Structure 1
Amino acid sequence: MSNLKLIIKREFIARVRNRTFIVMTFLSPLIFVGMISLIAWLTTLNNDEIHKVAFFDETGLFTFDFKDSDEIDYIDYSRLPLNDAKDSVVIKQLDGLLYIPKKNTNKELATSIQFYADESPNISILNKIEKIIGNKLTNQNFTEKGLDLSMIEKAKAKVNIQIENFSGEKTSKMSSYVKMVFGGAAGYFLMMFIIIYGNMVMRSVIEEKSNRIIEIIISSVKPIQLMMGKILGTSFAGILQFLVWVILGGVLLTIATSVFGIDPQPVGMDESLALQEGNHEEIQLLLQDILKLPLGTLIFSFFIYFIGGYFLYSSIYAAIGAAVDSETDSQQFMLPIILPLMLGIYVGFFSVIENPHGTVSTVFSMIPLTSPIVMLMRIPFGVPWWEVLISIFLLIGSIIFIIWLAGKIYRVGILMYGKKPSYKELFKWIKY
């Protein structure tokens, strides 16, 4: 046990004192906050940009319908010849020219309108223009059929479905998205941590093996102790780095939003209007949904699956590091690691979100190689405690088995040099 403590301490100090580790610990939050601030700033620039669109209306129906807004300025070129209007748009570098030809019927007109532009027009602008023209033609069709537009407008029903459970508690329409964000973030961060620090364990083993330091160390400690010491020492260093990222990133993000006045999650135009109209009930329900999430279970499960998933995959990384002589040779063994992680992410985002209690979601939340990610994504949607316990017990059992398996490969592999091992040879090492 004393040897294990020494190895853990050695690995932890070696990682923490590493220049790359120190630089990335403090530089990563700066890069992350800088990227968020840059994206938010660029988004505000795009939102402030006013598009200038000219229109040539031969029908004379839409002259007063194209009104300037915060996004679009309309310029009437209907009095000019069409070719002169096109030339003027090119010279003045406007966003485009909307050509509305004169047709016998509204049906023909609806399929004959053209938009001239050298570059692909903004989709949102085209949608707004189509909406204006569509509403105008629809109202005109109603009038031609002798229908009263004011009566039609009054007869329109605005449906707002209220969501409520059988206990009488109201929930927000955004409840599923909230659960998706919390579960997806937890699963994604776990996957990134496993990949980053698992690779760190593998590189550490390869480095000591290539420098022949491993031959000296192995004379004093058991291979399984050395492997566990590397995994634990690296995990403690990773946890420290992760805590620094969270604290420093939160502080920097707060400073960036207050000093530069940048909102990292700018509210869209439709959302702003909803807030101005006093849509406070939906916001209140949304906050209630966040508070009603099983945050305690999610945090507890995150640490359990975080530790379990890390130990499971780090053991495999350590075994691969012991089996090869260089990081380049390790690429042939990366598929068994990356494939389950990617599969867990895809199942989480495409199956769990669509049907969190379906067969696919349930099965993959029990399989140890994918359960750390998939179960974390399911928990916000409400998972029975017995399913979580079964998943954890299966994960613990798999960890014990994988550590035993990896230990056998590690014991033989750390003293093997000069040959790229195959899967067949790894299987032979397990039998030794």
Structure 2
Amino acid sequence: MNKLPLIIKREYLAKVRNKSFVIMTFLSPILMVAMVVLIAYLTKLNDSDKRVIGLLNESDYFAHEFLMAEDLSYVNFSDVSLQAAKDSTAKNDYYALLYIPSGKNLEEVAENSFLYTKDAPNTAVLDKLDAIFQQRLRQERLQEIGVSTAEFEAIDKPFEINTATFAGDLNLKGITEIKAFIGGAFGYLIMMFIIIYGGFVMRSVIEEKTSRIIEVIISSVKPFELMLGKIIGTSLAGITQFAIWIVSGGVLLILAFAIFDIDPSVMGSGAAAGTNLAPPVPTTDQTLQLYAQELFKIPWVMLIVFFLIYFILGYLIYSSIYAAIGAAVDNETDTQQFIFPIILPLMLAIYVGFFSVFSNPHGPIAVGFSLFPLTSPIVMLMRLPGGIGEGGVPIWELVTSILLLVVTFIGIVWLAAKIYRVGILMYGKKPTYKELFRWLKY
């Protein structure tokens, strides 16, 4: 291993001095920030589009229910026919026409009401109109059985049960989901790093193999030492680039939001409405303060430390597999049959991890995936924002997860070195899984 530092230095300098590496290091944050700003601007522009609905109310009901909102306004038609109201709506390019006919009672009026639109209406608009009708119908039905308006408001008042830990600390609705999102963001960073820079290791091996320079290098360096040096050297180059992206991207993003006066919260408001996984948004200042306090309670230092541990171990495992694949093939096209089995556990960790950790962070699926070495770097990070020990991840699960990662890394490096040792000098033949298995016996 006395030549390992030289190999690491060579791989690191070869990567950071590469022209395309330098260009993408400084160009990528600009492109990513520009994309984020564009999405935020377009979201803001889209949300600022106020829909105008024509309202033809021939009934004795709904006199004060349809009030102007932030994204909806109403134009009242009176003493006109339905056809005239439709023509006026189309002529003035209104979004829709809400027709409320006359009737014997509210049930009949609501049953025969129609919303006329040029195209299929927006679901959010329909939900708001449905809510108005439903609220009025509920109130009318309760009044028919003797419930007054004041009593109805008392009945309709929302309720949420108070929750607390056995220690007496108050729990907040959705805080588990928010913590899972934070851990998931760390896990997603690991997945993206593995996919991007694991490919770097693979391509580096393929380039040296096809240029035949590997035949010179292998005469003075052991295959295992060469493979390990490539993995560590490329990892360091990747970490350097990643750190520059995080710092420069964060600074550019803050400057861009300040210059263009964009509220970052508008980006999540639209997307969160269409998914059950989105945590509830707090509405009052007091609730916001409670959520902020809970977020400050997250053990950020511990989370960052374990992020680095799982980041390093996870990347070393997958980059060893990438190096073995690079040694087994002659060109990047031949790697496609081997790439999907590598990416599959990462994808599984992201999607299954989110669903399992959201519903039950201490359930058997969440625990199993946080112990399985190929998925634990992502799933365990989703569980760690909840803390370690009582109420959080049990210490034995955390220790077992890390030990399994270390053992798996040693085992995969040992197996990858066998493939690397044989495949690094093989040319002109596309290997099969059967042949790779045979190489492991050499």
Q: For the superposition of Structure 1 and Structure 2, which TM-score range results when normalised by the shorter chain?
A: over 0.9
Question: How many Å separate the matches in 2 of 1:308 and 1:114?
Answer: 60
The equivalences for 1:374-389 within 5 A come to 374-381=379-386, 382-389=392-399
Counterpart of 1:390?
A: 400
> What secondary structure does 1:99 align onto?
strand
Q: Deviations over 1:2-60 (max 9, x none)?
A: 42111111111111112222222122222222222222222222232221100222214
Question: How many Å separate the matches in 2 of 1:111 and 1:32?
Answer: 50
Count matched residues: 428
Question: How many Å separate the matches in 2 of 1:404 and 1:154?
Answer: 69
229-238 or 162-171, which deviates more: 162-171
CA contact (8 A) 2:356 2:366 kept: yes
Question: How many Å separate the matches in 2 of 1:243 and 1:14?
Answer: 18
Counterpart of 2:409?
A: 399
Question: How many Å separate the matches in 1 of 2:85 and 2:156?
Answer: 40
417-426 or 85-94, which deviates more: 85-94
Counterpart of 2:148?
A: 148
AA at the equivalent of 2:39: I
- Distance change (3 Å), C-alpha of 1:371 and 1:268: closer
TM-score, normalised to structure 2's length? 0.91
The equivalences for 1:320-399 within 5 A come to 320-381=325-386, 382-399=392-409
AA at the equivalent of 1:349: F
Indicate which of 310, 313, 324 corresponds to 2:315: 310
AA at the equivalent of 1:134: Q
> What secondary structure does 1:185 align onto?
helix
AA at the equivalent of 2:90: V
- Distance change (3 Å), C-alpha of 1:398 and 1:138: closer
AA at the equivalent of 2:84: D
Question: How many Å separate the matches in 2 of 1:415 and 1:178?
Answer: 50
Shift in Å at residue 155 of structure 1? 5.5
Q: Deviations over 1:196-253 (max 9, x none)?
A: 1100100011111111111111112111111111100000001111111111111111
Counterpart of 2:229?
A: 229
Counterpart of 2:264?
A: 264
Shift in Å at residue 190 of structure 1? 0.7
Q: Which runs of 5+ in 1 are unaligned?
A: none
Counterpart of 1:61?
A: 61
The equivalences for 1:7-406 within 5 A come to 7-154=7-154, 156-266=156-266, 279-381=284-386, 382-406=392-416
**Identity %, equivalent residues:** 51
AA at the equivalent of 2:124: S
TM-score, normalised to structure 1's length? 0.93
Q: Deviations over 1:237-286 (max 9, x none)?
A: 01111111111111111111222211222386999x976xxx33322221
* Backbone CA RMSD of aligned residues: 2.2
> What secondary structure does 2:440 align onto?
helix
- Distance change (3 Å), C-alpha of 1:148 and 1:364: closer
CA contact (8 A) 1:163 1:171 kept: yes
Q: Deviations over 1:178-209 (max 9, x none)?
A: 21111111111111111111001000111111
AA at the equivalent of 1:4: L
Question: How many Å separate the matches in 1 of 2:83 and 2:192?
Answer: 57
CA contact (8 A) 1:171 1:286 kept: no
Q: Deviations over 1:297-346 (max 9, x none)?
A: 22121111111111111111000000000100011111321111112112
CA contact (8 A) 1:324 1:330 kept: yes
Question: How many Å separate the matches in 2 of 1:309 and 1:154?
Answer: 55
CA contact (8 A) 1:171 1:285 kept: no
CA contact (8 A) 2:325 2:338 kept: yes
Task: Confirm or deny that 1:419 pairs with 2:424.
Answer: no
Shift in Å at residue 100 of structure 1? 1.6
> What secondary structure does 1:163 align onto?
coil
Counterpart of 2:276?
A: none
Shift in Å at residue 83 of structure 1? 1.3
